[in-house]
Amino acid sequence: MKFILMMTAKKADWDEYTKWSKGDLERNVAFMRAFSKELKDSGVFVATEGLAWPGEAKMVHAGKNGEPITDGVFPESKEFLAGYWIIDVESPEQAYKIAARVSAAPGPGGKSGSLPVEVRPVLGSHADLGL
């Protein structure tokens, strides 16, 4: 079964991130690289992407004539998607375990983090209600 692990962070966390020390950043990057390799080696990896800074994002909605109206102002409190992994595992518990591992990625001072990671099933194409 496939799950998406979505790592999110508030604007304050993103701002904080820019101030990390070189050592902290290196440790974090090394961890993420090892984490992705681990997913690949264990045969559960489907996809992953990291996203650009929330400052690069635009909110778009359709205007009266369908023209795009963009908006770049974000509320402080909003959680922004930082990146995601899609994995194919045998059980939800296995997905939670993997999510907890990446949630604990090293943060400032090399201390284990605890960023929230939303784990949600990816809809499949199965069609079998048994009816």
Partner 1 sequence: MSDPSDRPIEHLLRELAPQVLSPVVRRFRDFAAAEDAVQEALIAATAQWPREGVPANPRAWLIQVASRRMADHIRSEVARRHREQVAAEETERLALPVDAFTETGEDDALVLLFMCCHPALTPASAIALTLRAVGGLTTAEIANAFLVPEATMAQRITRAKQSIKESGIPFQLPTAEDRAQRLRAVLHVLYLIFNEGYASSAGPHLRRADLSDEAIRLTRIVYHRQSDNEVAGLLALMLLTDARRAARTGPDGELIPLAQQNRTLWDRQQIAEGIALLSAVLPKGSVGPYQLQAAIAAVHDEAARAEDTDWSQILALYDLLKRMSDNPMILLNHAIAAAMVHGPRKGLELLGALDSDPRLAERHRLEAVRAHLLEMAGEHEAAITHYRSAASRAPSIPERNYLMLQAARLSESTDHKAPD
Question: Which of 129, 124, 122 has the alpha carbon at shortest distance from 85?
Answer: 122
- What does the block give as tokens for 68? 């795009």
| Binding-residue total with partner 1 (CB under 8 A) | 22
Stretch that binds partner 1, among 3-11, 28-36, 45-53, 77-85 (CB under 8 A): 45-53
Stretch that binds partner 1, among 25-33, 40-48, 61-69, 96-104 (CB under 8 A): 40-48
Contact status: 42 vs partner 1 (CB under 8 A): yes
User: What backbone phi and psi angles, to 5 degrees, belong to 55?
Assistant: -60, -20
Residue 26, SS3 per DSSP: helix
Task: Report whether 119 contacts 99 (CB < 8 A).
Answer: yes
* CA atoms of 76 and 13, how far apart (whole Å): 10
What's the min distance (Å) between Cβ of 125 and partner 1? 4
Contact status: 4 vs partner 1 (CB under 8 A): no
Contacts of 131 (CB under 8 A, 6+ apart): none
Stretch that binds partner 1, among 24-32, 37-45, 53-61, 68-76 (CB under 8 A): 37-45
Name the site residues for partner 1 (rule: CB under 8 A): 1-2, 40-47, 88, 90, 121, 123-131
